[in-house]
Amino acid sequence: MNPSWRKPVGMILILLILVLWCIISVTLVELLDLPVWAQGIAFLAMGLAWLWIFPMRRMLRWMELGLWRD
């Protein structure tokens, strides 16, 4: 059995998207100049948006099976 190229490529993509999302989130919160408690809520909302906008389930499924959709 040959190792799949999708796993290392998928992990690199996940890390790149995560870093980009963190940069965008921090920049946005700094631009809004919110109090500390509101920053926490904003980061929590952006973290949840990460789960819904960029669902990792599909990426992980593609890495394992090679299928993007159910």
Is a pLDDT exceeding 70 seen at residue 9? yes
What pLDDT is recorded for position 54? 66
63, 7 in Cβ contact below 8 A? yes
Q: Which residue has the higher pLDDT, 58 or 34?
A: 34
What pLDDT is recorded for position 70? 66
User: Position 46: which residue type?
Assistant: M
pLDDT, tens digit, for every residue of 33-57?
999 999 999 999 888 887 777 677 7
What pLDDT is recorded for position 63? 87
Q: What average pLDDT is seen over the chain?
A: 85
What pLDDT is recorded for position 14? 87
